[in-house]
Amino acid sequence: MGSHRRTAHSGSAGSDRSTRAIVLTVAVAGTAAALGAVPAGAAPQDRPADTKAEVDRLYEQAEKATEAFNKADERADRLREELAKSQDEVARGQERINKMRRALGMVAGAQYRSGGIDPSLALMLSSDPDAYLDRASTLNRLSARQAGELGELQDAQRELAQERAEAQRKLTELDASRKAVARHKRSVEAKLAKARRLLNSLPGAERAAYDRASRGDGRPDLSGAGAASSARAATALAAAQSALGKPYIWGANGPSGFDCSGLMQWSYAQAGVGLPRTSQAQRYAGRQVSLSQAQPGDLVAYGSDAHHIGIYAGNGQVIHAPYPGAPVRYDPVGMMPVSSVTRV
């Protein structure tokens, strides 16, 4: 520190030392600034708060992948039904053609057994000329009928070819949908496995705090929550309340476990209402209302892509299946950005 108190005229040696001190001070300051400039997220797993934020992010991504899985699985189910119907139509068409061919075969066989003589010539040489006109009239009607049968056979064969092509197209679509289901399933499982590893890396106290937060706060005060918008909405809400405490199971729609859209589908099914399988489709399953007009039983979708959904319980609360490890529970309606409220 003494050198810093020297006067400016203390000589060249003092000046050199002062210069070196200034350079060193600037270098140290620059190094400190550089160290301070390291991004806070450079080592996010070093801090429990960052670990929990990453777990929450993975759970959100897993939920989006779960809804994609649900959509692909629902499409696969629909395609399986359509394929079965197409295959049934193909089988009926084939049987119809077989019957036509058998009938025409009988006619051809009869002509062959007659020696292959033209029917009109056979009539002219008939030993019963008195019946010629009647038999000729019968032959004309038979020929017209045969021509009609041949035309019907051709139409049936074209129709059968179209049905076979449609069945093959649906079989190809079903195969693609099955692959999409498997792909989304792998995505969900990978994200959930990573989330579990991160949770297990937390210190004991932090993990316990996260688990406590995941259990929710029990049953909120819903006195004065107001009436449901309809009898079916009231029944659906009662069903969701009966599922409180059930585990979150991705891809499940009850009754022993649920994902978010699965809980909504199951709850409204108890009221005799069939909802689509995914949260994205459920948001359009009724009339849109504003959040300020929400009534018990309304569906509340979250995120611009509606990747999460719950059922409004009144008094600013929703019931939903949050994420793995967090059972069906109440949470504030504003827990995430609300994208829509739907009255079924």
Active site residues per annotation: 260, 308, 320
Please answer whether residues 64 and 307 qualify as being in contact, where contact means their C-beta atoms are separated by less than 8 angstroms: yes
Residues 6 or more apart whose CB falls under 8 angstroms from that of 118 comprise: none
Burial of 81 (0-12, 13-18, 19+ CB in 10 A): exposed
Three-state secondary-structure class, residue 277? coil
d(CA 278, CA 138): 65
Long-range contacts of 140-147 (CB under 8 A, 24+ apart): 146/104, 146/107
Residues 6 or more apart whose CB falls under 8 angstroms from that of 281 comprise: 71, 275
Alpha-helical (H) ranges within 215-303 are 231-242, 260-269, 279-282
Amino acid symbol at 211: D
